[in-house]
Amino acid sequence: MRMKWLTLPMVSVLMIVLSGCEPLMVLDPKGPQAETQANDIIASILIMSFIVITVFGLLIYMLIKYRASKQSKDYEPPYVEGHPLVEAICVGIPVIIVTTLSIMSVISNYKVEATPKGYENQEPLVIYAASSNWKWHFSYPEEEIETVNYLYIPTNRPIEFRLYSYGPITSFWIPQLGGQKYAMSDMITKLHLAADVPGELMGRNANFSGKGFAENTFNVKAMSEAKFQEWVQEVKETAKPLTEKKFNQLLEPGHVGQSTYTGTHLEFAPAPEGEHAGHNHSSTKEENDENHDSNEESSHDH
């Protein structure tokens, strides 16, 4: 009885505290990809909650029904053979649960890896997202602008992020738009997202990458297409050009604020794709050609 009166206040305080918390970002989607993942998370929670409640219910029932009785000390319970139906249920139900969750996961993965639903016929906005210790560089090749540590995107338009890193492996993640994806130094990984509503969102590196990892974040602002084009035009009229010297300074380890530039680093430091893919993506085309020629001469000597 005493434990009961101690438990009730604790539960009440917990409910009051949790009622004031903001919803988890992954359960507050602002785009179709995030909505798919949020639905899967909720469905998984419901399935697992049903399993837990059922198991604990059966446990309580068994403890009460088959609790120790006042039998004589020399009492031996009768030997009972296994029951085929019970064994089939014990094995079959877990198999069904695992199969259901597996099918849900596979279907979800195909959905979130593809172009967002409803945007298949639209041309995506391509944004190169490159990480360095400990900052994010966003290049808009079509608009010929670049931002550091913040991202502006139009709503109701598919976004194709092309991710790579100028340092250790990082993980690009905007929880309210979709799941995370790794950015690596010698290859491009693509992430398809879209924002259905305007608003300010949070993005971050979700993979530990050194002492500056905790502050390796960036701000995201979704806006209408018209406002996005106004912002692009404003950047072109007011921002300074991004030079190779300035970009190399930005690559130095450390934290910096938000900044905006005309032009992109892709002009002098191409992304690791196409002829720049692999370990030579940071080299110039002439250096790659020289390396190729020297390799050919070496092979002829052998």
pLDDT digits (tens, 9 = 90+) for 106-145: 999 999 999 998 899 999 999 999 999 999 999 999 999 9
Kindly provide the b/e burial profile for residues 242-262, where b requires at least 16 CB atoms within 10 angstroms of the residue's own CB.
beeeebeebbeeeeeeebbbb
pLDDT of res. 83: 83
Sequence-separated (6 or more) residues with CB below 8 Å from residue 213: 134, 205, 207
Residue 285 has pLDDT above 50, yes or no: no
User: Which whole number is the average pLDDT over 44-69?
Assistant: 90
Q: Which of 94-103, 127-136, 236-245, 292-301 has the lowest mean pLDDT?
A: 292-301
Task: Give this prediction's pTM.
Answer: 0.78
What is the mean pLDDT of the segment spanning 232-253? 96
Mean pLDDT is lowest, of 184-188, 191-195, 253-257, 275-279, for 275-279
Confidence at residue 299, expressed as pLDDT on a 0 to 100 scale: 40
Summary count for the chain: helices (H), strands (E): 6, 12
User: Can you tell me the distance from the alpha carbon of 276 to that of 279, in angstroms, rounded to the nearest whole number?
Assistant: 8
How high is the pLDDT of residue 151?
Answer: 97
Higher pLDDT, 289 or 165: 165
Q: Which two tokens stand for residue 81?
A: 């053979």
Quote the pLDDT of residue 70. Answer: 74
Query: CA-to-CA distance for 164 and 169, rounded, in angstroms?
Result: 8
Which of 2-6, 68-72, 88-92, 230-234 is the most confident on average?
A: 230-234
Q: Spell out the domains of the chain, with CATH numbers in brackets.
A: 26-57+84-114 (no CATH), 125-287 (2.60.40.420)
pLDDT at 7 over 70: no
Q: Residue 240: is its pLDDT beyond 60? A: yes
- Quick check: 281 pLDDT over 80? no
Q: Does pLDDT of 302 surpass 60?
A: no
36-44: average pLDDT: 93
- Read off the pLDDT of residues 58-104 as tens digits, 9 standing for 90 and up: 999 989 888 877 778 787 877 777 888 888 988 999 999 999 999 99
